Structure 1
Amino acid sequence: MNAVTRIHSRSAVLVDENIDTDRIIPARFLTTTTRSGLGRHCFSDWRYLPDGSDNPAFALNQPTARGCSILVAGRNFGCGSSREHAPWALLDYGIEAVLSCEIADIFRSNALKNGLLAIVLSEAEHRWLLDHPGIELAIDLRTQTISLPDGGRIAFEIDAFARQCLLEGVDQLGYLLARSAQVDAYLQRRAAAASAGVAA
């Protein structure tokens, strides 16, 4: 997993509400356990026409959305079933951050654990971003701010442990393994204290 510190990109906007995980990555593509290649199936039923060509009506197929790594999505993004393939598909597609006023809890947890920044905004902030697609945004995870083109900033909250893992570029297991020496030292102190009959 790559470290996440700063994301700078134009914004792509999907105004639709209640975009569920099956719409992000249809169930028929869940047979793989690897992340690579899932990007081509991201939003598959929405993104492509029956003949396999790009659907010109799909917002992310518009020229202004090409290459954008910040997605501003409608309310209740990522609802539905729990599947890590959803953030995997978005990341492989090129999306590094999802912004909305409401993001499903399980999706947000899966996203943060897999290196996809999922940010919940206020209603007013979210509406403003929906109304201004294609603007340049800079997300700084260290300061927990989003810089706007006019010099304004939006502050956002994020779980402290998830933030630390993203900054270090590790998942929960990687976080623990990086501190194995500290864990071993604690266990040794605890064992010594137990044998001496005192609390660790």
Structure 2
Amino acid sequence: MAGDAEPGPSIRIAQDQRADEVLSQDPFALLVGMLLDQQFPMERAFAAPATVLERFGTLDPAAVAAADPEEFARLCSVPPAIHRFPGSMAGRIQDVARIVVERYDGDAARIWTGAADGADLLRRLQALPGFGRQKAQIFTALVAKQLGVTPDGWQQAAGDYALTGFRSVADVVDPDSLQQVRAHKQQLKRAAKAATADG
């Protein structure tokens, strides 16, 4: 590979060079990071694909889908585990891998690069196990803001996550933005708790 080749998009969500390289180079890794980003620190969720790669030897969706479920869950559970619920998340990773193989010929990037428009991208993402509407909106914003994938209507599909600011993992590009997104999430949690108490 030529030393002066154009570098690919540089994702810096995990705040770890090796983990962020994996996210930048492997679309399936980025998808898995987003899948794991719930009830778990953002940067650890997005560092997990590199851990799976290290332990399993590949992130090829076909290989992940075909892995023995018990063995795959075991390697995801070895400390440091890939998630606070490593067993169930290992199953979800395999489920997502199967869909990537069956519907997108094993190329996760086709989920977003092949979308007709923002609404289609949102539908494609919501069809994945573990991707509710909010997660699909955040990932739509992430591929737009950090990978430059901006199908028509992506802003409407992503909703408020399309806006400029520090609203979600889509806006994390360095340690400072990570802290600002975390502060925003904590503020929302406090507001939700206060609203429940008032109700």
TM-score band, normalised by shorter chain: under 0.3
Q: Whose strand fraction is larger, Structure 1's or Structure 2's?
A: 1
Structure ranking higher on relative contact order (CA contacts 8 Å, 6+ apart): 1
What is the TM-score normalised by the length of structure 2?
Answer: 0.28
What is the TM-score normalised by the length of structure 1?
Answer: 0.28
Q: Whose helix fraction is larger, Structure 1's or Structure 2's?
A: 2
Rg larger for? 1
